[in-house]
Amino acid sequence: MYPWLWVWSPQVHFPWSGSVAQKIEPRTAWFTSMIPPVSGDAAIEEQVFNAASYGTQLGLITDVLLDIVKETEILSPRASKSLDELKALKSKIEDIKKISAKK
């Protein structure tokens, strides 16, 4: 019935003789996998990003914030410094956009 060495049946794996199963389909959900589960629903985040990138969203928020700040007259020194930095940053971003549009 069974050979006398049926208990001793070693598995020998020579080089290049192991399992060759691998996934070869392209990963198209790379953005979704970068969003941690605690951040919310990754599918919704991906749809929002496809509608408007984070840069676009931040640009709109910056524009609204700068317009609102124009109406206020009194700012703390810290807020005034941050406002100057925000204006400088927006200027740099606009310069980058102009340079990249010329290329």
pLDDT at 24: 78
Give a yes or no: residue 34 inside a domain.
no
Give a yes or no: residue 78 inside a domain.
yes
Q: How many domains does the chain have?
A: 1
pLDDT at 103: 72
| Domain with 94 in it | 54-103
Number of DSSP helices (H) and strands (E) in the chain, helices first: 4, 0
pLDDT tens sequence for the chain (103 residues): 556 666 666 777 777 776 777 777 777 766 666 767 677 777 787 788 888 888 899 999 999 999 899 888 788 899 889 999 999 999 999 999 899 888 7
pLDDT at 9: 66
Give a yes or no: residue 66 inside a domain.
yes
pLDDT at 37: 67
Give a yes or no: residue 90 inside a domain.
yes
70-93 as b/e: b if 16+ CB within 10 A: eeeeeeeeeeeeebeeeeeeeeee
pTM over 0.75: no
* Angstrom distances, CA of residue 82 to CA of 62, 63, 74: 12, 15, 14
Give a yes or no: residue 9 inside a domain.
no
